[in-house]
Amino acid sequence: MFKAIGFLIILWGLSNYFSSSFHALDSAVTQGFKTFEAAAILSQDKIYEM
């Protein structure tokens, strides 16, 4: 009985840990794409200036 409760507590803790990790990963990927988009727009502007 106590092992089962301990196991559920560990699963709950891991679930919370991974859900925050996925949020951080999503945020990092979003910022990476925004940086890539800004670089592409800047390059496109420089090409049209020529």
For range 4-11, the mean pLDDT: 87
Please give the pLDDT value at position 36: 93
Please give the pLDDT value at position 49: 82
Residue type, 28: A
Please give the pLDDT value at position 38: 94
Q: In terms of residues, how long is the chain?
A: 50
Predicted confidence (pLDDT) per residue in 9-45, tens digit: 899 988 888 887 888 888 899 999 999 999 999 999 8
- Whole-model pTM over 0.85: no
- What whole-number distance in Å separates Cα of residue 37 and Cα of residue 30? 11
Q: Cα 4 vs. chain centroid, distance in angstroms?
A: 32
Please give the pLDDT value at position 5: 87
